Amino acid sequence: MSICAGMPPIFADGPGDGSNPRARWSQTTDDKRHIWNFDADAIGAPPEGFAMVTLGQGSAGRWIIEADPQSPSPPNRLIQETACATPDCLQVLLFDGVQYDYPDVTVRLRTVGEGATAAGGIVFAAQDPRNFYAVLVDLSKETLEVIRVVNGEITVVGREATKRKPTTWHFLRAQHNTNLSKDYIEVAFDGQVLFSTWDTNLNAGRIGLVTRGATPVAFDNLFAIQLFSQRPLSSPAPY
């Protein structure tokens, strides 16, 4: 575990519990608080407001809404169905048009199918579809990986073992935070903070979801909030 001294701790559990049950997505004002539970999106269609991209050697991703009465916030879930089994392949879904300076992002996720071998997770600090950070959790291998993608090339920032709870759906949380002098990444899985590291390359960017592997991954209750903003709190004084 890489936990950096001097960091204020995140709460391992947090929002994203389906408290807005019928929203496709909602934004609460200027604090960039967004909630997606995909229950107002059309079955069989991709989620509205997102862009899909495939990195590396793989077929185009298929991100669609499907019915799941057992999802954390029924009746729908989002699923990525296309295999992406080579080491350099990622299926990415980015939320269009909103930049986060310091995002706190949570999602519920699960693998689908017997003998599932896939990883899923959160994208943040995305400058474009070929430059971003991501957190991927592989439920079959019980590993968590933080990666940085620069011009489509993947670098592993850190890797940790996980211990998942005996539930179908799991909880992943990623933060890009700051102590006002240095920025850092902190990641929690199923209620436990597993990884944190200082990072001088972090910038504001878009958020989204990501998968890798041979079998589908399903998502529900994607939640994003702005922790801090680089914008001034008020207009400069007129002198």
DSSP of 9-57: PPPSS-S-S-SSTT-S-EE-STT--EEE--SSSPTTSPPTTEEEEEESS
CA–CA distance, 150 with 128 (Å, rounded to integer): 10
Q: E strand or H helix at 110, and its extent? A: strand 103-111
For 235, residues 6+ apart whose C-beta sits below 8 A from its C-beta are none
pLDDT digits (tens, 9 = 90+) for 191-218: 999 999 999 999 999 999 999 999 999 9
What's residue 31's pLDDT? 56
What's residue 136's pLDDT? 98
* Residue 81 lies inside a defined structural domain of this protein: yes
Task: Supply the CATH number for residue 133's domain.
Answer: 2.60.120.560
Map residue 30 onto helix, strand or coil.
coil
* Residue 219 lies inside a defined structural domain of this protein: yes
What's residue 15's pLDDT? 52
* Residue 193 lies inside a defined structural domain of this protein: yes
Residues facing residue 155 across a β-bridge: 148
pLDDT digits (tens, 9 = 90+) for 100-148: 999 999 999 999 987 788 999 999 999 999 999 999 999 999 999 999 9
* Residue 204 lies inside a defined structural domain of this protein: yes
CA–CA distance, 134 with 157 (Å, rounded to integer): 10
Percent of the chain with pLDDT over 70: 82
Residues facing residue 75 across a β-bridge: none
Q: Show the domain range for 108.
A: 26-226
What's residue 237's pLDDT? 46
Contact 113, 216 (CB under 8 A): yes
* Residue 13 lies inside a defined structural domain of this protein: no
pLDDT at 229 over 50: yes
Average pLDDT over all residues of the chain: 87
* Residue 236 lies inside a defined structural domain of this protein: no
What is the Cα 1 distance to its own chain's centre? 20
pLDDT at 3 over 80: no
* Residue 2 lies inside a defined structural domain of this protein: no
Domain count, the chain: 1
What's residue 217's pLDDT? 97
pLDDT digits (tens, 9 = 90+) for 64-99: 999 999 999 999 999 999 999 888 899 999 999 789
* Residue 136 lies inside a defined structural domain of this protein: yes
